[in-house]
Each structure stands twice: as structure tokens, then as C-alpha cells.
Structure 1
Amino acid sequence: MIAEWENACWLLPPPLRQSIRRPLFSIRAMPQRLGCWDPAKREIILSSELVSKHGWDDVKDVLLHEMAHQVAHEGLAGAKETGHGSSFKQVCRFLSANPRASGTYPTLHERLNQGDPLDDNDRMVIRIRKLMALAESSNPNEAHAAMRKAFDLIRRHNIDLISHGQDQRYTSIFLGRPRLRHFREAYHLAHLLQDFYFVQGVWAQAWVLEKGRMGRVLEISGSVQNVQIAEYVHASVHRYIDNTWADYCQDKKLNRYRKTDFAVGVIAGFRSTLQQASISTQQVNDTGLPMCVDDKLTRYLARRYPHLRSFSRKGPSHDAQVLSDGTQCGKKLVVSKGIRNAAGFNNQVLEYHGKGSS
């Protein structure tokens, strides 16, 4: 928590950053609360259940909320205001903190998993649900066709919303766990989600619990529905890679780097499926990627990360045969059940066809 607090301090304007001191931190049982700021003791307290049973993005969400209380109280003389007064809201904007992430308010992932109620009169949602159900077919050709149609429908729906300037509610979540080092396939998958699922990704700093150091984690931002879909696809592709790799490497002496080659191939194969599904959409470029940019999402991300930088690096050498075999496996990947009911995408499993399916 100390490292996250110190890291968040750099989001504050210099005069405000220099006006506050590091508080005490504690974790204790608080059945009715996620966290609190105790100004008398200068202490930020987080619920032990929150820390032990929820993801680090849930923990960080609450920590930033309580930090905003501290900064408003000590740096902006907000002690005379109500708990969530104008000073507190101002600091929340600096920290990209959620003003409601405390008390009995649900955690970030609990809010996402609750999902938005589906309107049965919404023909678009009903059609997508039916197509995703068809994608569970045991017939590989039928399953792929249904998945491509569902993807194309989601795509057209988003392009229509963006082109008409429709207001959407954006959110940000972590995908996977913070690590000191991420294998190459993690970056390929991040680009796939950003290219095809109407989210934007940032490799954000986050605390790596098992290493006791700051590392990085993929954070995606987008509309609530698109973030849920991207989260589901991210988990699905990882599970597919693990299962198909277990079959592929039997009786082969292949190391972890060859798994990366295989995984990059799987992602490339799946990317080709999505590109083919995009051809029928008119508003795409030569690579099948959308030409319609969500400017409102871009502004949301700019407010969240005002000093964002991009970087690239050259990948290491790879085994061409393993990469090619992974690509062929990736072309067989079928993601289904992604849109099923109002409960969102939690507790869903990957459905795919071919050797090693389950």
C-alpha cells in the first residue's frame, strides 16, 4: 500500500504533493466497510476481506478513495467540508479515484459482474445472445460462423454508437495479475483486445505482492459492456493456450520460451479470424481494424493518465515451426457464451472445438 500511495502522489500537482506526508496504513476486519481515513491517527485503513479476497485493482480503487480523503483533509483544508465535498471531489479527479469506492459500495469487479439489466426489447442484444448460443455448436464450421457474426454485430453496434456521439459509461480494470515481467504473448493479446474489442490498454504500475516490488499490469478502459467482453476474451484465450499447449508439448522437450512462440501463434490465428469477420463491416481499414475512433474514450484515458507514454521493443528470436503450429490452433479457437444474461460474464468458461477441447 505504501508503494501504491507514493506512486499515486505523482498524479497530484507539485504544491499539493509537497503539502502532504505519508500516513500510517493498516489492514483490519471491517465487515461493513471497505476502507476509511482516520484523520486523528493519520491512518488509512483497508478491510482485511477486501485485501485477501479481491483483486489488486479492487484494493487500489479503495486505497485511492481513502487517499483522496487524506489529501483533501490535509492538503486542501477540506476538514470543514462534508466527507465528500468539493475538495474531496477535486482530489479524486487528480488521482482518477472513484468518489464512491468505500463504505458498503460494491467493489470494482462486483459492480462489473452485476452487469446492466438487459432489455428484452433490445433487438441488438437479443441477436447477439442467439448468435453466441449458436457458437456452442459441436459443428466447427457452424460455431465459427456464429462467432464471426456475433463479433461483427458487436462491432457494428459500437461503430454506430461512436459515430453518433452516444454517451457511454467508461470504467477501467486490471486483466491478469501484476508482474515484474510479462511474456511476449501478453503484449500481443493486449493489442488484439485494443484492435478488435473497443477498449484501450495501458501497462500500469501496480504492486506485485509475491515479490514485494512495483511491477506492471495490463489495465483496459472502455464502456462497461466492452470491458466485460474484453475481460472474458482475455481469460478465454489464456485458457485455450494452456490447454492446447499441454496437448502440443506432450513428448516434446520444449521450454517456456517455446510456449511463448506457440501462444503468439495462437493469438495471430485468432486475430486472422477476427479480421475475416471484419471484412463485411464497411468502416474498417485495409487490415480490418475500425476507422471509427472513440474520442470520448480517448479523453477519458487522457484524464486518467495525463502523462501517458508509448514504447515498443524488438522481440527475441522464435521457433518458426512452433509459431506456425500455434497459428493453426488459434484459427480453431471459438469463443462462445460471452453474452448470455444480465449477470455479466463471470463464472463463464471457454468453449472451443478440436483436439483437447473440454
Structure 2
Amino acid sequence: MTTNPKREAARLSVELEAQLVQRLVQEWRGINYSYFKGALRIPVIQLCDAGEPLGRWCSELRSLEISRTLALDYDWGEVLEALKREVVCQFIDERLSVADERRHGPTFRRICARLGIRTRAPGRPRPARAGEERDPTSRVVSRIHKLLALAHSPNRHEAETAAATARRLMIKFNMSELSDIHGEARPDPGRARYGYRHLGNPSAPVREHDRRLAKILNDFFFVESAWLPVYLPRVGRRGSVLEICGLEANLLMAEHVHAFANRTASRLWSEYARATDRRSNRDRQAYLAGVMKGFETKLAAQDQQLQAQGLVWVPAPELGVYFRRRNPTLRHVQPGDAGGCEAYEHGSRAGREIVLTPPVASGSGSGPGAGPKALGPGG
């Protein structure tokens, strides 16, 4: 019997949509368990064609709708945030019965803040307001970028000095922020403007060099990170994405370091492969892991020098609170160990020679037609 290609494509589309709805049901169950201790009954979860809102809880029908546009054209992290917001609306409606509560009123905002859920839907970054260029965060990011520009210098000593000075400025900035927060009578995680970003493209599996880079961001760039499961509706498969949480200035810097380190490691591997005629994926994975290990070793040595100068930064407990609110059931996974092979050792030596250079200007956000960019800040 001859198969009609158009009918086959339509049938597959139906299958993928059914898988997507099933995945949304699984995510709802996880949110209900993690955030609300199983207090809610599962509603009818369905997809809708409406462009706005991107998600909607209907109490009369006990239905929770997610826009197809959101599910198919946005990062999966945005889908989860929309789903979380609508589950909060369901919780308010069915468990709190708050009288005269607006859809996204004070109770909604209070619960979202307590759970680390972003209250606004994704969209274009708002334009800068008058006077924002004078904000301390903007100024420190600008100064760090200028210092890193000097790291392009062909003079090795000058480049290293510029990179170390940028690192010193980052530590001072974060020590100042922590001091300001702790100077208040009641430290508030919301006061520190913590947010989140998702970095890179969803991957499966997460390789050792990915985990080592996440550890670098955690240990040296003032963010907390976690590998989160995501779903790719168009292909019906799962992956993982790196979420980082922190202050806006630190999110911007960590986003750059993540892209810079991956780009640099790939370039170094290409040069090594050409020089040695090594082409196997095993050698590639070992070499990339070695590069990240070498980069980590170099940053640790820089930190020891800065600590000798009295620049010691202690992780902010408020960041830990925000991070745990967003990831209440997180399990930590340590990097593996690809050491011992020749490719790893060569990669490690190359990683110790890396000098951090300035970010490449680019947009962020997600939406229809958007490329593999980081999410806008959450919070």
C-alpha cells in the first residue's frame, strides 16, 4: 500500500503534539510535588492557538492552557515558567480562595517571589530609561569590558595583568553588593535583584567539559548553576540546559565566559587535531575536558593571589536561597575524570594559557526566529 507523505507528516505531527501534552502533564506533576507538596488535583492540560496570553488557567473548566506559539517557538525554560505561573493561579483559586484577587495580583506576586518564579511573560527587553546608564551595575560591567579589551594585547604580561585586574574588580563589586545587603535589618533575596539565564543549546548527554565549565562559573564567577532537563517539542526528545542564577552583572559576565570558553576550547581542539592528526571523538572529549581543567587551574591560581591581597569573597546566602527556591529538588553531579590520556594533558596545558577577552556584543532573549541565545534575566 502506498503511503501518502502529507498524511504521514500530519500523523507524525499529531504524535509529537500528544507527546508534548504528555510532557506538560509530567511537568505539572513535578511542579505540584516540588512547590505545593501535592496539594492540587491535576486539571485538563491542553494546547491553545491564542497568541496572548501564553498561558491561562480557567477555574470554571478546570483547564490549564499553554500556547502552541510558546511551546514551539520559545526556549523550554519559558514554557516551564509560564506553566509555573498558571499553577500558582490554580493554587490561589482552589486552595486559598482569595476574594477579589486579580489574575496576577499581590497574592500571586508574593507566592512567585517565595518560589523564585518569574512573574512576567517573555518579550523584548525594555528600552533603557533615562539615567540607567549611571547605574552602578552598568558602570562596573562597562569597566570590566574595557579591561578585558586590553587582554587582546600581544604583550603577554599586559594581557594577563588586564585580565587579573578585571577579576579583582569583579570580586570588589560582589563584596560591595554583599556588604550592602547584609547592612540591612532584614536581608531580602529580592533586594539583590537575583535572576537567571539558560546558557547554550540543549544537549544530551552532558559531557565532562560541560560539567567542568559549569563548575568554573560556580567557583569563580559569582553564580550558582544547575543542569536542568528540557524538552524539544519539534523532535520529541529530551535534553539538558545549564541554568545560572545570580546578580545581573554576574549573569552577563558568566554568560560571556560560558560562550568564550566553549568557543576557545573548540578552536584549540581544531588546532591540536590538525597538528596531531587526531580525529576520534574520544580524543576530542578528553581534550575539551583538559582545556576546562587547565582554565580552572589558572583561575584558582589567580584567586590565591587575590586572597593574599585580602580580596576574599564568601558566597551570598541570599543567592543560595533564591537558587534553592527555583530548584527545590536539585541533585548535584560532580564532573568525571578524563585525566591520564595524552589528549587530556595537552588540553590541560592549553587551558592554562587561556586569557579571558571581552564579550562579543549580541542580543539575548528568545522568541519566534530567535537563535540559540541565552534567556533574558528572570526574577
TM-score by shorter chain over 0.5: yes
Q: 2: distance between equivalents of 1:242 and 1:216?
A: 20
Retained in 2: the 8 A contact 1:20–1:71? no
Q: 2: distance between equivalents of 1:301 and 1:2?
A: 24
Query: Which of these residues, 50, 55, 77, is aligned with residue 35 of structure 1?
Result: 55
Counterpart of 1:11? 34
Change in CA separation of 1:2 and 1:214 when aligned onto 2, cut-off 3 Å: farther
Q: 1: distance between equivalents of 2:76 and 2:219?
A: 26
**Do structure 1's residue 201 and structure 2's residue 222 form an aligned pair?**
no
- Say which SS state the counterpart of residue 135 (structure 1) adopts: helix
Counterpart of 1:147? 163
Change in CA separation of 1:42 and 1:335 when aligned onto 2, cut-off 3 Å: farther
Query: Which of these residues, 180, 192, 204, is aligned with residue 168 of structure 1?
Result: 192
Counterpart of 1:25? 46
Query: Which of these residues, 61, 81, 106, is aligned with residue 123 of structure 2?
Result: 106
Q: 2: distance between equivalents of 1:272 and 1:228?
A: 23
Retained in 2: the 8 A contact 1:194–1:201? yes
Change in CA separation of 1:112 and 1:36 when aligned onto 2, cut-off 3 Å: farther
Query: Which of these residues, 123, 129, 144, is aligned with residue 128 of structure 1?
Result: 144
Counterpart of 1:327? 348
**Do structure 1's residue 228 and structure 2's residue 252 form an aligned pair?**
yes
Q: 1: distance between equivalents of 2:220 and 2:126?
A: 24
**Do structure 1's residue 255 and structure 2's residue 276 form an aligned pair?**
no
Q: 2: distance between equivalents of 1:326 and 1:4?
A: 39
Change in CA separation of 1:331 and 1:12 when aligned onto 2, cut-off 3 Å: closer
Change in CA separation of 1:22 and 1:280 when aligned onto 2, cut-off 3 Å: same
Change in CA separation of 1:139 and 1:54 when aligned onto 2, cut-off 3 Å: farther
> Any stretches of 5+ residues in structure 2 without a counterpart?
1-23, 183-190, 371-379
Retained in 1: the 8 A contact 2:228–2:242? yes
Deviation per CA, 1:26-71: give whole Å up to 9, x if none.
14251x5433333344443344443344322222222211222223
Shift of 1:150: 1.0
**What does 1:209-228 align with in structure 2 at a 5 Å threshold?**
209=233, 212=236, 215-228=239-252
**Do structure 1's residue 158 and structure 2's residue 167 form an aligned pair?**
no
Change in CA separation of 1:78 and 1:255 when aligned onto 2, cut-off 3 Å: farther
Counterpart of 2:91? 71
Deviation per CA, 1:225-261: give whole Å up to 9, x if none.
1012111111111111222212222363432222221
Q: 1: distance between equivalents of 2:280 and 2:47?
A: 42
- Say which SS state the counterpart of residue 144 (structure 1) adopts: helix
Deviation per CA, 1:80-118: give whole Å up to 9, x if none.
52112355345535653222x23xx637xx47999x943
Alignment-mate amino acid for residue 8 of structure 1? I
- Say which SS state the counterpart of residue 118 (structure 1) adopts: helix
How many correspondences in the alignment? Answer: 333
Alignment-mate amino acid for residue 318 of structure 2? K
Counterpart of 2:320? 298
Looking at secondary structure, tell me which structure has more helix per residue. Answer: 2
Change in CA separation of 1:230 and 1:120 when aligned onto 2, cut-off 3 Å: closer
TM-score, normalised to structure 1's length?
A: 0.77
Retained in 2: the 8 A contact 1:284–1:291? no
Shift of 1:183: 0.8
- Say which SS state the counterpart of residue 334 (structure 1) adopts: coil
Deviation per CA, 1:129-171: give whole Å up to 9, x if none.
3212212334444333322221221122212322443642101
Q: Which deviates more from structure 2 when the two are superposed, residues 179-188 or residues 189-198?
A: 179-188
Alignment-mate amino acid for residue 59 of structure 1? V
Q: Which has the higher contact order (CA 8 A, sep 6+)?
A: 2
Q: 2: distance between equivalents of 1:2 and 1:119?
A: 45
Counterpart of 1:278? 303
Change in CA separation of 1:218 and 1:235 when aligned onto 2, cut-off 3 Å: same
Coordinate RMSD, CA, aligned? 3.7
